């Protein structure tokens, strides 16, 4: 088995340019920088129109397929939604099944997963695959044999916890986080020993500094994020214990600064009147040491979040020329509608410009770093608030973007949704929803519910946008030959010109696409593109869960915006692999 390209010692050069292309895809974000940029060049803007299906594989599932097909050596690995099977497919045999690992997931866990029973995939490191199960285990599986190496329990479904995110493996640490911001969980990020599965550290999103792993080296950039035990004092008494703030999104890593980056989820309940205060550290970006979990800086994107704007979206680590200087930045397209460009060493916001339609805020105060909220849009008891844009899934949800070192642009798959909300009293009953909001979403301006946007991070501007009927809930990948791939919820898999946005090719898969496309060099030396088709996720719950569209408040209000999805697609998970003839 080949060594993954990111397993070795970091070099200074790989922070400034794409890492050497070895044709594999060993973690869903492609690399620690989370750029999803491929150096493979066989498929280009000229010949991409000839792409054909090379082979397919049925996952046997009917729920949302959000995972990324990984390629290590001559084997592909895919993780399914609940019951979280791990398939190993032989690339020398057109994807013939090598083995399947079944972790044995508690079926009851399906009842505490907020937004379909998805899984975002596995990560490979040093001969093992690591991934999370819906019922809160992290497993390590031998990549050759499919045998379980270890299995560690991290959470409890009876406290509303589940796990859906992709671990990040840094040195000897497997870094994982929990989901459940709609269930009154206490959010955390945890580092496990990669060899034994033992828990090395746990950093809670709220509570006293000792629980958040805030110590003497914690240096947030803004005054608002400084002070003792803010994770307790910015909540009503005790509310931090059930205040959400999970870490169900992406973790990226800068080997030179030795910092991991991730964001925390929304505070609970959604009804903001039940939790006065800034509710730290929900909706916050954290930089931590991977070895110990120690917090180095934090920036609360959404103090006292009113809208379920989780801060969990990806942090793409690139070095960009800003005012004549090369800056180590982090690009974070947030649910609140802004792309945050931050100095990733210090946590300073260099810019926060809108990529979506926003009515809930007017921008970020450069001095204080605080998001400037529009008071009239705050939900609360005794009122119905309309035209809240973006809606709760944000201008962009989990669907990860890609950065091209060729064009210098960030490719953002995202949503164009607004909503209306009336708040109700949420009762906390452990293991049940803790929301307190009745929501109906609908299309934002223009009527298209999805967009695929090329974003210039230096200028802070949209370069071009492709409008899509439904939210673009898939990930994306961009190649050195300026081809960008993404999927739609109708099931179209598309290739577009990364410079112009012109569509170059499309193929209709069996079900809506919400997965993460990847590209790799096969054992035969050819370039392939792989994507999982299979509608679901929060946006596709109306189809995956067979919901009744007469009640628009279903799926936390998403049903109302997706009433017509069942006319366009049906359930069913299939892996598609494409190549040139």
Partner 1 sequence: MKRVTKGVLACASVLVLATLASSCKRESRTLRNEPPQRGLYDAARESTNEPGGKLPKIGMPSPAEGNAYAISQGQRLFDWYNCSGCHAQGGGGMGPPLMDRRFTYGSQPANIYDTIVKGRPNGMPTWGGRIPEFQVWQLVAYVRSLSGSEPSAATPGRSDGLEKKTRAQLQ
Build a one-symbol-per-residue string for 111-150: x at contacts with partner 1 by CB under 8 A, - elsewhere.
xxxxx-----------------------------------
132 given a catalytic annotation: no
* Sequential DSSP letters for 53-68: EEEEEE----S---PP
Give the span between the Cα atoms of 266 and 283, in whole angstroms: 5
Q: What DSSP element (H or E) covers 203? A: strand 199-204
Binding status of residue 432 toward partner 1 by CB under 8 A: yes
Q: 92 φ, ψ to 5°?
A: -80, -10
Build a one-symbol-per-residue string for 331-370: x at contacts with partner 1 by CB under 8 A, - elsewhere.
----------------------------------------
Task: For the CB of residue 569, give the shortest distance to partner 1 in the complex, in Å.
Answer: 18
Site size toward partner 1 (CB under 8 A) is 45
Task: For the CB of residue 505, give the shortest distance to partner 1 in the complex, in Å.
Answer: 33
Task: For the CB of residue 480, give the shortest distance to partner 1 in the complex, in Å.
Answer: 42
Binding status of residue 215 toward partner 1 by CB under 8 A: no
CA distance readout (Å), 393 to 179, 335, 436, 547, 557: 15, 7, 16, 18, 10
Task: For the CB of residue 35, give the shortest distance to partner 1 in the complex, in Å.
Answer: 34
Q: Which of residues 6 and 440 has its CB atom nearest to partner 1 in the complex?
A: 440
66 given a catalytic annotation: no
Q: 476 φ, ψ to 5°?
A: -150, 160
Binding status of residue 555 toward partner 1 by CB under 8 A: yes
Build a one-symbol-per-residue string for 150-189: x at contacts with partner 1 by CB under 8 A, - elsewhere.
--------------------------------x-------
- As a three-state string, the secondary structure of 483-526 is EEEEECCCCEEEEEECCCCCEEEEEECCCCCCCCCEEEECCCCC
Task: Say if residue 459 is exposed, middle or buried (CB neighbours under 10 Å; 0-12, 13-18, 19+).
Answer: exposed
Binding status of residue 242 toward partner 1 by CB under 8 A: no
Q: 158 CB contacts (<8 Å, ≥6 apart)?
A: 430, 431
- Cα dihedral 423, 429, 433, 435, rounded to 10, equals 20
Q: Which of residues 525 and 548 has its CB atom nearest to partner 1 in the complex?
A: 548
Q: Which of residues 1 and 425 has its CB atom nearest to partner 1 in the complex?
A: 425
Q: 325 CB contacts (<8 Å, ≥6 apart)?
A: none
Q: Which of residues 427 and 502 has its CB atom nearest to partner 1 in the complex?
A: 427
Using the rule CB under 8 A, which residue among 109, 274, 300, 474 binds partner 1? 109
209 given a catalytic annotation: no
Binding status of residue 559 toward partner 1 by CB under 8 A: yes
Task: For the CB of residue 172, give the shortest distance to partner 1 in the complex, in Å.
Answer: 36
Binding status of residue 545 toward partner 1 by CB under 8 A: yes
Using the rule CB under 8 A, which residue among 8, 107, 446, 523 binds partner 1? 107
Task: For the CB of residue 157, give the shortest distance to partner 1 in the complex, in Å.
Answer: 9
Q: Tokens 């628009």: give the residue.
A: 552
- Cα dihedral 94, 98, 104, 109, rounded to 10, equals -20
Q: Note the residues at the interface with partner 1 (CB under 8 A).
A: 107-115, 182, 384, 386-387, 419-420, 422, 424, 426-427, 429, 431-435, 438, 440-443, 541, 545-556, 559-560
Residues annotated as part of the active site: 182, 266, 308
């Amino acid at each position: 088995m080949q060594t993954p390209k990111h397993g070795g010692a970091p070099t200074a050069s790989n922070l400034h340019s794409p890492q050497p292309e070895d044709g594999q895809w060993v973690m869903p974000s492609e690399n620690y920088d989370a750029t999803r940029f491929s150096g493979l060049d066989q498929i280009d803007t000229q010949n991409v129109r000839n792409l054909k299906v090379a082979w397919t594989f049925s996952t046997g599932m009917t729920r949302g397929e959000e995972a990324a097909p990984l390629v290590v050596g001559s084997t592909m690995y895919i993780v399914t939604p609940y019951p979280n099977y791990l398939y190993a497919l032989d690339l020398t045999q057109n994807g013939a099944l090598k083995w399947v690992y079944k972790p044995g997931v508690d079926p009851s866990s399906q009842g505490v997963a907020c937004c379909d029973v998805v899984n975002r995939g596995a990560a490979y490191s040093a001969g093992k695959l690591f991934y999370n199960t819906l019922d809160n285990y992290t497993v390590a599986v031998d990549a050759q044999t499919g045998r379980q190496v270890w299995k560690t329990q991290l959470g409890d479904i009876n406290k509303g916890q589940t796990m859906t995110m992709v671990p990040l493996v840094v040195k000897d640490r497997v870094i994982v986080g929990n989901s459940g911001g709609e269930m009154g969980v206490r959010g955390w990020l945890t580092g496990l020993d990669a060899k034994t599965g033992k828990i090395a550290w746990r950093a809670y999103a709220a509570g006293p500094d000792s629980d958040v792993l805030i110590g003497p080296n914690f240096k947030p950039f803004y005054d608002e994020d400084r002070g003792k035990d803010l994770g307790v004092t910015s909540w009503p008494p005790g509310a931090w214990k059930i205040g959400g703030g999970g870490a169900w999104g992406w973790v990226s890593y800068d080997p030179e600064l030795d910092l991991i980056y991730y964001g925390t989820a929304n505070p609970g309940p959604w009804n903001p009147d039940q939790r006065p205060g800034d509710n730290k550290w929900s909706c916050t970006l954290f930089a931590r040491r991977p070895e110990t979990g120690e917090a180095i800086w934090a920036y609360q994107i959404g103090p006292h979040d009113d809208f379920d704007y989780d801060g969990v979206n990806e942090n793409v680590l690139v070095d960009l020329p800003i005012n004549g200087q090369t800056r180590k930045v982090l690009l974070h397209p947030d649910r609140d509608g802004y792309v945050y460009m931050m100095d990733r060493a210090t946590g300073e916001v260099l810019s926060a410009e809108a990529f979506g339609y926003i009515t809930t805020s007017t921008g970020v105060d450069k001095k204080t770093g605080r998001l400037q909220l529009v008071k009239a849009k705050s939900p609360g008891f005794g009122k119905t608030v309309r035209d809240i844009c973006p809606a709760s899934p944000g201008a962009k949800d989990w669907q990860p973007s890609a950065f091209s070192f060729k064009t210098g642009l960030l490719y953002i798959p995202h949503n164009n949704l607004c909503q209306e909300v009336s708040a109700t009293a949420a009762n906390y009953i452990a293991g049940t929803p803790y929301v307190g909001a009745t929501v109906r979403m609908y299309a934002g301006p223009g009527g298209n519910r999805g967009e695929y946007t090329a974003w210039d991070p230096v200028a802070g501007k949209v370069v071009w946008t492709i409008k899509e009927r439904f939210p673009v809930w898939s990930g994306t990948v961009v190649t050195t030959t300026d081809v960008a791939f993404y999927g739609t919820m109708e099931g179209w898999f598309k290739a577009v010109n990364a410079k112009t946005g012109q569509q170059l090719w499309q193929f209709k898969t069996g079900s809506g696409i919400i997965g993460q496309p990847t590209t790799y060099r096969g054992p035969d030396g050819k370039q392939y593109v792989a994507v999982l088709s299979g509608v679901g996720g929060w946006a596709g719950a109306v189809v995956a869960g067979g919901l009744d569209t007469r009640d628009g408040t279903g799926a936390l209000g998403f049903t109302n915006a997706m009433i017509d999805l069942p006319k366009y697609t049906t359930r069913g998970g299939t892996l598609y692999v494409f190549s040139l003839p």
